Structure 1
Protein backbone atom coordinates (compact mmCIF):
# COMPACT_ATOMS: atom_id res chain seq x y z
CA UNK A 1 0.00 0.00 0.00
CA UNK A 2 1.44 3.38 -1.03
CA UNK A 3 0.86 5.91 1.74
CA UNK A 4 0.14 9.36 0.33
CA UNK A 5 0.23 12.92 1.63
CA UNK A 6 -1.97 15.28 -0.39
CA UNK A 7 -1.04 18.98 -0.21
CA UNK A 8 -3.47 21.36 -1.92
CA UNK A 9 -5.36 24.38 -0.64
CA UNK A 10 -8.57 23.56 -2.54
CA UNK A 11 -10.77 21.21 -0.52
CA UNK A 12 -12.91 20.25 -3.52
CA UNK A 13 -9.84 19.27 -5.55
CA UNK A 14 -8.47 17.19 -2.67
CA UNK A 15 -11.79 15.39 -2.28
CA UNK A 16 -11.93 14.63 -6.00
CA UNK A 17 -8.37 13.38 -6.02
CA UNK A 18 -8.98 11.17 -2.99
CA UNK A 19 -11.99 9.60 -4.71
CA UNK A 20 -9.96 9.00 -7.85
CA UNK A 21 -7.14 7.34 -5.93
CA UNK A 22 -9.57 5.30 -3.83
CA UNK A 23 -10.73 3.65 -7.05
CA UNK A 24 -7.19 2.38 -7.65
CA UNK A 25 -5.63 -0.56 -5.85
CA UNK A 26 -2.70 0.08 -3.58
CA UNK A 27 -3.20 3.75 -2.66
CA UNK A 28 -4.04 5.19 0.74
CA UNK A 29 -4.30 8.95 1.31
CA UNK A 30 -3.48 8.94 5.01
CA UNK A 31 -3.10 12.70 5.47
CA UNK A 32 -3.76 15.97 3.71
CA UNK A 33 -2.80 19.62 4.17
CA UNK A 34 -3.99 22.97 2.84
CA UNK A 35 -0.83 25.06 3.26
CA UNK A 36 2.91 24.85 3.91
CA UNK A 37 2.70 25.02 7.69
CA UNK A 38 0.13 22.24 7.88
CA UNK A 39 2.11 20.12 5.42
CA UNK A 40 5.29 20.38 7.45
CA UNK A 41 3.36 19.38 10.54
CA UNK A 42 2.10 16.27 8.75
CA UNK A 43 5.53 15.12 7.55
CA UNK A 44 6.92 15.56 11.06
CA UNK A 45 4.15 13.39 12.51
CA UNK A 46 4.59 10.31 10.34
CA UNK A 47 6.36 8.98 7.22
CA UNK A 48 4.79 8.89 3.77
CA UNK A 49 5.73 7.01 0.64
CA UNK A 50 4.82 9.85 -1.74
CA UNK A 51 3.67 13.45 -1.39
CA UNK A 52 1.49 15.20 -3.98
CA UNK A 53 2.20 18.92 -3.86
CA UNK A 54 0.25 21.72 -5.54
CA UNK A 55 2.25 24.63 -7.00
CA UNK A 56 -0.31 27.31 -6.11
CA UNK A 57 -0.45 27.53 -2.35
CA UNK A 58 -1.40 30.37 0.00
CA UNK A 59 1.60 31.88 1.74
CA UNK A 60 4.57 29.83 0.55
CA UNK A 61 4.09 28.37 -2.91
CA UNK A 62 4.64 24.68 -3.57
CA UNK A 63 7.99 25.29 -5.23
CA UNK A 64 9.13 27.45 -2.32
CA UNK A 65 8.31 24.79 0.26
CA UNK A 66 9.63 21.83 -1.77
CA UNK A 67 13.25 22.14 -0.53
CA UNK A 68 11.96 22.24 3.06
CA UNK A 69 9.93 19.07 2.50
CA UNK A 70 12.98 17.35 1.07
CA UNK A 71 15.07 18.47 4.03
CA UNK A 72 12.50 17.05 6.48
CA UNK A 73 12.05 13.78 4.57
CA UNK A 74 14.99 13.31 2.15
CA UNK A 75 13.78 9.92 0.92
CA UNK A 76 10.15 10.95 0.37
CA UNK A 77 9.48 11.54 -3.35
CA UNK A 78 7.35 14.56 -4.19
CA UNK A 79 5.15 14.88 -7.27
CA UNK A 80 4.35 18.47 -8.17
CA UNK A 81 0.81 19.13 -9.37
CA UNK A 82 0.30 22.26 -11.44
CA UNK A 83 -2.40 24.06 -13.36
CA UNK A 84 0.35 25.55 -15.54
CA UNK A 85 1.78 23.87 -18.68
CA UNK A 86 5.02 21.96 -18.27
CA UNK A 87 7.09 24.55 -20.11
CA UNK A 88 6.29 27.10 -17.39
CA UNK A 89 7.20 25.19 -14.24
CA UNK A 90 8.62 21.71 -14.94
CA UNK A 91 12.29 22.68 -15.00
CA UNK A 92 11.89 24.79 -11.84
CA UNK A 93 10.13 21.90 -10.09
CA UNK A 94 12.85 19.36 -10.84
CA UNK A 95 15.58 21.83 -9.90
CA UNK A 96 13.84 22.28 -6.55
CA UNK A 97 13.86 18.54 -5.92
CA UNK A 98 10.63 17.15 -7.38
CA UNK A 99 10.51 13.49 -8.41
CA UNK A 100 7.65 14.04 -10.82
CA UNK A 101 5.64 16.80 -12.50
CA UNK A 102 2.00 16.35 -13.49
CA UNK A 103 -0.31 19.03 -14.86
CA UNK A 104 -3.86 18.97 -13.53
CA UNK A 105 -5.35 18.58 -17.00
CA UNK A 106 -3.42 15.36 -17.69
CA UNK A 107 -5.18 12.01 -17.88
CA UNK A 108 -5.87 10.53 -14.45
CA UNK A 109 -3.91 7.38 -15.25
CA UNK A 110 -0.83 9.50 -15.85
CA UNK A 111 -0.97 10.59 -12.22
CA UNK A 112 -1.46 6.97 -11.14
CA UNK A 113 1.56 5.89 -13.20
CA UNK A 114 3.64 8.73 -11.79
CA UNK A 115 2.89 7.68 -8.20
CA UNK A 116 3.87 4.08 -8.88
CA UNK A 117 7.11 5.13 -10.55
CA UNK A 118 8.33 7.59 -7.92
CA UNK A 119 7.37 5.16 -5.14
CA UNK A 120 9.91 2.79 -6.72
CA UNK A 121 12.61 5.41 -6.39
CA UNK A 122 12.45 6.55 -10.01
CA UNK A 123 11.56 9.89 -11.54
CA UNK A 124 8.43 10.43 -13.57
CA UNK A 125 8.84 12.57 -16.64
CA UNK A 126 6.09 12.60 -19.26
CA UNK A 127 7.32 12.98 -22.88
CA UNK A 128 5.98 16.54 -23.07
CA UNK A 129 7.75 17.43 -19.83
CA UNK A 130 10.97 15.75 -20.98
CA UNK A 131 11.01 17.90 -24.10
CA UNK A 132 10.60 21.03 -21.99
CA UNK A 133 13.45 19.97 -19.72
CA UNK A 134 15.74 19.29 -22.66
CA UNK A 135 14.87 22.67 -24.14
CA UNK A 136 15.64 24.27 -20.79
CA UNK A 137 19.03 22.56 -20.47
CA UNK A 138 19.92 23.55 -24.02
CA UNK A 139 19.34 27.20 -23.07
CA UNK A 140 21.08 27.23 -19.67
CA UNK A 141 23.86 29.47 -20.94
CA UNK A 142 21.43 31.85 -22.60
CA UNK A 143 18.54 32.31 -20.18
CA UNK A 144 15.67 34.59 -21.11
CA UNK A 145 14.84 37.31 -18.55
CA UNK A 146 11.77 35.51 -17.17
CA UNK A 147 13.83 32.37 -16.49
CA UNK A 148 15.88 34.41 -14.03
CA UNK A 149 12.84 35.22 -11.88
CA UNK A 150 12.43 33.45 -8.56
CA UNK A 151 9.59 30.93 -8.29
CA UNK A 152 7.46 33.41 -6.32
CA UNK A 153 8.21 36.23 -8.78
CA UNK A 154 7.30 33.96 -11.66
CA UNK A 155 4.04 32.94 -10.02
CA UNK A 156 3.06 36.55 -9.32
CA UNK A 157 3.99 37.55 -12.87
CA UNK A 158 1.58 34.96 -14.28
CA UNK A 159 -1.22 36.21 -12.05
CA UNK A 160 -0.61 39.84 -13.06
CA UNK A 161 -0.68 39.08 -16.78
CA UNK A 162 -3.95 37.23 -16.26
CA UNK A 163 -5.44 40.48 -15.00
CA UNK A 164 -5.57 39.62 -11.29
CA UNK A 165 -5.43 42.77 -9.15
CA UNK A 166 -2.59 43.16 -6.67
CA UNK A 167 -5.04 43.18 -3.75
CA UNK A 168 -6.46 39.83 -4.88
CA UNK A 169 -2.99 38.36 -5.42
CA UNK A 170 -2.13 39.41 -1.88
CA UNK A 171 -5.30 37.81 -0.55
CA UNK A 172 -4.60 34.53 -2.35
CA UNK A 173 -0.99 34.36 -1.17
CA UNK A 174 -1.47 35.85 2.29
CA UNK A 175 0.82 38.74 1.40
CA UNK A 176 0.32 42.47 1.95
CA UNK A 177 -0.43 44.63 -1.07
CA UNK A 178 2.83 46.44 -0.39
CA UNK A 179 4.76 43.16 -0.60
CA UNK A 180 3.03 42.18 -3.84
CA UNK A 181 3.78 45.63 -5.24
CA UNK A 182 7.45 45.16 -4.35
CA UNK A 183 7.46 41.83 -6.17
CA UNK A 184 5.87 43.53 -9.18
CA UNK A 185 8.60 46.17 -9.22
CA UNK A 186 11.30 43.50 -9.10
CA UNK A 187 9.66 41.60 -11.94
CA UNK A 188 9.41 44.66 -14.17
CA UNK A 189 13.04 45.58 -13.45
CA UNK A 190 14.34 42.10 -14.22
CA UNK A 191 12.38 41.96 -17.47
CA UNK A 192 13.41 45.48 -18.46
CA UNK A 193 9.85 46.76 -18.82
CA UNK A 194 7.81 49.47 -17.10
CA UNK A 195 4.10 48.59 -17.14
CA UNK A 196 1.56 45.79 -16.85
CA UNK A 197 0.70 46.24 -20.52
CA UNK A 198 4.31 45.61 -21.50
CA UNK A 199 4.39 42.66 -19.11
CA UNK A 200 1.33 41.14 -20.79
CA UNK A 201 2.90 41.67 -24.21
CA UNK A 202 6.12 40.03 -23.00
CA UNK A 203 4.17 37.02 -21.67
CA UNK A 204 2.34 36.57 -24.98
CA UNK A 205 5.52 36.91 -27.05
CA UNK A 206 7.27 34.29 -24.93
CA UNK A 207 4.22 31.99 -24.85
CA UNK A 208 3.94 32.14 -21.07
CA UNK A 209 0.15 32.36 -21.21
CA UNK A 210 -2.45 30.83 -23.52
Structure 2
Protein backbone atom coordinates (compact mmCIF):
# COMPACT_ATOMS: atom_id res chain seq x y z
CA UNK A 1 0.00 0.00 0.00
CA UNK A 2 1.36 3.41 -1.01
CA UNK A 3 0.72 5.97 1.74
CA UNK A 4 0.21 9.62 0.75
CA UNK A 5 0.28 12.93 2.64
CA UNK A 6 -1.64 15.84 1.04
CA UNK A 7 -0.15 19.31 1.58
CA UNK A 8 -2.08 22.36 0.35
CA UNK A 9 -3.39 25.50 2.05
CA UNK A 10 -6.79 25.12 0.38
CA UNK A 11 -9.09 22.56 1.98
CA UNK A 12 -11.10 22.25 -1.24
CA UNK A 13 -7.99 21.19 -3.16
CA UNK A 14 -7.08 18.59 -0.55
CA UNK A 15 -10.63 17.27 -0.53
CA UNK A 16 -10.61 16.97 -4.32
CA UNK A 17 -7.35 15.03 -4.41
CA UNK A 18 -8.47 12.81 -1.54
CA UNK A 19 -11.64 12.02 -3.48
CA UNK A 20 -9.59 11.08 -6.55
CA UNK A 21 -7.32 8.76 -4.58
CA UNK A 22 -9.71 7.17 -2.09
CA UNK A 23 -11.03 4.55 -4.50
CA UNK A 24 -7.68 3.74 -6.11
CA UNK A 25 -6.41 0.28 -5.26
CA UNK A 26 -3.03 0.28 -3.54
CA UNK A 27 -3.01 4.01 -2.61
CA UNK A 28 -4.15 5.45 0.72
CA UNK A 29 -4.25 9.06 1.94
CA UNK A 30 -2.95 8.92 5.51
CA UNK A 31 -2.78 12.61 6.42
CA UNK A 32 -3.20 16.24 5.43
CA UNK A 33 -1.34 19.48 6.14
CA UNK A 34 -2.06 23.06 5.12
CA UNK A 35 1.41 24.62 5.50
CA UNK A 36 4.98 23.61 4.81
CA UNK A 37 5.75 23.73 8.53
CA UNK A 38 2.87 21.37 9.30
CA UNK A 39 4.07 18.99 6.60
CA UNK A 40 7.60 18.90 8.05
CA UNK A 41 6.27 18.23 11.56
CA UNK A 42 3.91 15.53 10.29
CA UNK A 43 6.67 13.73 8.42
CA UNK A 44 8.92 13.74 11.48
CA UNK A 45 6.25 11.99 13.52
CA UNK A 46 4.67 9.66 10.96
CA UNK A 47 5.65 7.26 8.21
CA UNK A 48 4.59 8.08 4.65
CA UNK A 49 5.73 7.07 1.18
CA UNK A 50 4.65 10.04 -0.96
CA UNK A 51 4.02 13.71 -0.18
CA UNK A 52 1.86 15.63 -2.66
CA UNK A 53 3.12 19.18 -2.04
CA UNK A 54 1.80 22.57 -3.12
CA UNK A 55 4.43 25.22 -3.91
CA UNK A 56 3.02 28.53 -2.71
CA UNK A 57 1.64 28.29 0.84
CA UNK A 58 1.82 30.42 3.98
CA UNK A 59 5.09 30.19 5.87
CA UNK A 60 8.11 28.42 4.41
CA UNK A 61 6.25 27.17 1.31
CA UNK A 62 6.64 23.97 -0.63
CA UNK A 63 10.25 24.33 -1.80
CA UNK A 64 11.75 24.76 1.67
CA UNK A 65 9.37 22.15 3.12
CA UNK A 66 10.64 19.67 0.53
CA UNK A 67 14.24 20.35 1.48
CA UNK A 68 13.52 20.00 5.20
CA UNK A 69 11.52 16.77 4.81
CA UNK A 70 14.18 15.13 2.68
CA UNK A 71 16.96 16.26 5.01
CA UNK A 72 15.41 14.30 7.90
CA UNK A 73 13.58 11.60 5.96
CA UNK A 74 15.42 10.91 2.68
CA UNK A 75 13.27 7.85 1.92
CA UNK A 76 10.13 9.99 1.54
CA UNK A 77 9.28 10.94 -2.06
CA UNK A 78 7.88 14.41 -2.79
CA UNK A 79 5.71 15.29 -5.78
CA UNK A 80 5.21 19.01 -6.33
CA UNK A 81 1.61 19.53 -7.50
CA UNK A 82 1.25 23.21 -8.33
CA UNK A 83 -0.06 25.86 -10.68
CA UNK A 84 3.51 27.05 -11.28
CA UNK A 85 4.82 25.32 -14.40
CA UNK A 86 7.15 27.93 -15.90
CA UNK A 87 10.93 27.68 -15.80
CA UNK A 88 12.95 27.86 -13.63
CA UNK A 89 10.76 26.46 -10.85
CA UNK A 90 10.44 22.84 -12.07
CA UNK A 91 14.21 22.49 -12.43
CA UNK A 92 14.88 24.12 -9.06
CA UNK A 93 12.34 21.87 -7.34
CA UNK A 94 13.86 18.73 -8.84
CA UNK A 95 17.33 19.94 -7.86
CA UNK A 96 16.04 20.34 -4.30
CA UNK A 97 15.31 16.60 -4.24
CA UNK A 98 11.68 16.25 -5.34
CA UNK A 99 10.87 13.07 -7.25
CA UNK A 100 8.06 14.53 -9.32
CA UNK A 101 6.53 17.73 -10.66
CA UNK A 102 2.94 18.00 -11.86
CA UNK A 103 0.60 20.79 -12.86
CA UNK A 104 -2.64 21.10 -10.92
CA UNK A 105 -4.24 20.91 -14.34
CA UNK A 106 -3.03 17.32 -14.71
CA UNK A 107 -5.67 14.65 -15.32
CA UNK A 108 -6.52 12.51 -12.26
CA UNK A 109 -5.05 9.44 -13.96
CA UNK A 110 -1.73 11.22 -14.43
CA UNK A 111 -1.56 11.99 -10.71
CA UNK A 112 -2.22 8.32 -9.97
CA UNK A 113 0.40 7.24 -12.54
CA UNK A 114 2.95 9.62 -11.02
CA UNK A 115 2.37 8.27 -7.51
CA UNK A 116 2.79 4.69 -8.66
CA UNK A 117 5.86 5.44 -10.78
CA UNK A 118 7.61 7.36 -8.01
CA UNK A 119 6.73 4.76 -5.39
CA UNK A 120 8.50 2.21 -7.62
CA UNK A 121 11.68 4.29 -7.66
CA UNK A 122 11.21 6.35 -10.82
CA UNK A 123 11.02 10.11 -11.25
CA UNK A 124 8.03 11.74 -12.93
CA UNK A 125 7.53 15.11 -14.61
CA UNK A 126 4.29 16.09 -16.30
CA UNK A 127 4.57 15.93 -20.09
CA UNK A 128 3.88 19.64 -20.62
CA UNK A 129 6.44 20.63 -17.99
CA UNK A 130 9.06 18.19 -19.30
CA UNK A 131 8.61 19.70 -22.77
CA UNK A 132 9.30 23.20 -21.43
CA UNK A 133 12.38 21.97 -19.56
CA UNK A 134 13.70 20.21 -22.66
CA UNK A 135 13.17 23.28 -24.82
CA UNK A 136 14.98 25.47 -22.32
CA UNK A 137 17.99 23.17 -22.65
CA UNK A 138 17.86 23.37 -26.44
CA UNK A 139 17.15 27.09 -26.49
CA UNK A 140 18.85 28.58 -23.44
CA UNK A 141 18.16 32.08 -24.70
CA UNK A 142 14.48 31.34 -24.04
CA UNK A 143 15.11 30.98 -20.30
CA UNK A 144 13.49 33.63 -18.12
CA UNK A 145 15.58 36.16 -16.19
CA UNK A 146 14.54 34.25 -13.07
CA UNK A 147 16.64 31.28 -14.18
CA UNK A 148 19.66 33.01 -12.69
CA UNK A 149 18.20 32.89 -9.18
CA UNK A 150 19.22 30.26 -6.64
CA UNK A 151 16.69 28.05 -4.83
CA UNK A 152 16.92 30.27 -1.74
CA UNK A 153 16.48 33.42 -3.78
CA UNK A 154 13.40 31.96 -5.49
CA UNK A 155 12.00 30.99 -2.11
CA UNK A 156 12.49 34.49 -0.71
CA UNK A 157 11.02 35.96 -3.89
CA UNK A 158 7.86 33.89 -3.42
CA UNK A 159 7.57 35.10 0.17
CA UNK A 160 8.06 38.72 -0.86
CA UNK A 161 5.28 38.38 -3.46
CA UNK A 162 2.98 37.21 -0.65
CA UNK A 163 3.61 40.49 1.17
CA UNK A 164 5.92 39.22 3.89
CA UNK A 165 8.36 41.74 5.34
CA UNK A 166 12.07 41.12 5.82
CA UNK A 167 11.73 40.42 9.55
CA UNK A 168 8.89 37.95 8.92
CA UNK A 169 10.88 36.14 6.24
CA UNK A 170 13.94 36.04 8.50
CA UNK A 171 11.94 34.55 11.38
CA UNK A 172 10.23 31.97 9.16
CA UNK A 173 13.47 30.79 7.55
CA UNK A 174 15.58 31.09 10.71
CA UNK A 175 17.87 33.63 9.05
CA UNK A 176 19.00 37.06 10.16
CA UNK A 177 17.26 40.10 8.61
CA UNK A 178 20.69 41.13 7.28
CA UNK A 179 21.00 37.80 5.42
CA UNK A 180 17.50 38.13 3.94
CA UNK A 181 18.32 41.64 2.75
CA UNK A 182 21.53 40.35 1.19
CA UNK A 183 19.47 37.86 -0.84
CA UNK A 184 17.02 40.61 -1.82
CA UNK A 185 19.70 42.95 -3.09
CA UNK A 186 21.43 40.10 -4.91
CA UNK A 187 18.12 39.35 -6.68
CA UNK A 188 17.65 43.02 -7.56
CA UNK A 189 21.14 43.11 -9.06
CA UNK A 190 20.66 39.89 -11.07
CA UNK A 191 17.28 41.00 -12.39
CA UNK A 192 18.19 44.67 -12.89
CA UNK A 193 15.32 45.92 -10.76
CA UNK A 194 15.16 48.27 -7.77
CA UNK A 195 12.51 46.99 -5.38
CA UNK A 196 9.91 44.49 -4.19
CA UNK A 197 7.11 45.88 -6.38
CA UNK A 198 9.16 45.36 -9.54
CA UNK A 199 10.10 41.90 -8.30
CA UNK A 200 6.43 41.00 -7.88
CA UNK A 201 5.54 42.33 -11.33
CA UNK A 202 8.38 40.30 -12.84
CA UNK A 203 7.21 37.15 -11.04
CA UNK A 204 3.66 37.64 -12.36
CA UNK A 205 4.91 38.34 -15.90
CA UNK A 206 6.86 35.08 -15.97
CA UNK A 207 4.13 32.96 -14.38
CA UNK A 208 5.95 32.28 -11.10
CA UNK A 209 3.01 33.75 -9.20
CA UNK A 210 -0.41 34.86 -10.38
CA UNK A 211 -2.29 38.02 -9.55
CA UNK A 212 -5.22 35.82 -8.51
CA UNK A 213 -2.99 34.02 -6.00
CA UNK A 214 -1.85 37.36 -4.60
CA UNK A 215 -5.45 38.49 -4.08
CA UNK A 216 -6.10 35.29 -2.12
CA UNK A 217 -2.86 35.36 -0.13
CA UNK A 218 -4.39 36.90 2.98
Q: TM-score range by the shorter chain?
A: 0.7 to 0.9
CA deviations 1:29-60 (Å, max 9, x no partner) are 11111222221221122221111111112111
Q: Partner residue of 2:23?
A: 23
Q: Partner residue of 1:5?
A: 5
Query: Normalising by the residue count of structure 2, what TM-score does the alignment of the two structures yield?
Result: 0.74
Deviation (angstroms), 1:95 = 0.7
Query: Aligned pairs, how many?
Result: 201
Q: Partner residue of 1:132?
A: 132
Question: Which runs of 5 or more structure 2 residues have no equivalent in the other structure?
Answer: 171-176, 211-218
Contact preservation (8 Å) 1:79, 1:100: yes
Query: Normalising by the residue count of structure 1, what TM-score does the alignment of the two structures yield?
Result: 0.76
Contact preservation (8 Å) 1:82, 1:104: yes
- Of 191-200 and 108-117, the range deviating more from structure 2: 191-200
**SS of equivalent to 1:66:** helix
Contact preservation (8 Å) 2:63, 2:93: yes
CA RMSD of aligned residues (A): 3.4
2-side partners of 1:158 and 1:60: how far apart? 10
* Change over 3 Å in CA distance of 1:206–1:37 after alignment to 2: closer
* Change over 3 Å in CA distance of 1:4–1:196 after alignment to 2: closer
* Change over 3 Å in CA distance of 1:37–1:85 after alignment to 2: closer
* Change over 3 Å in CA distance of 1:204–1:12 after alignment to 2: closer
Contact preservation (8 Å) 1:91, 1:132: no
Q: Partner residue of 2:146?
A: 146
Q: Partner residue of 1:169?
A: 163
Deviation (angstroms), 1:72 = 1.6
Contact preservation (8 Å) 1:40, 1:69: yes
Q: Partner residue of 1:33?
A: 33
Contact preservation (8 Å) 1:86, 1:103: no
Deviation (angstroms), 1:142 = 10
Deviation (angstroms), 1:151 = 3.9
Deviation (angstroms), 1:24 = 2.0
1:42 equivalent to 2:36? Answer no
**SS of equivalent to 1:194:** coil
Question: Which runs of 5 or more structure 1 residues have no equivalent in the other structure?
Answer: none
Q: Partner residue of 1:79?
A: 79
**SS of equivalent to 2:189:** helix
* Change over 3 Å in CA distance of 1:87–1:147 after alignment to 2: closer
1-side partners of 2:111 and 2:48: how far apart? 17
1:102 equivalent to 2:96? Answer no
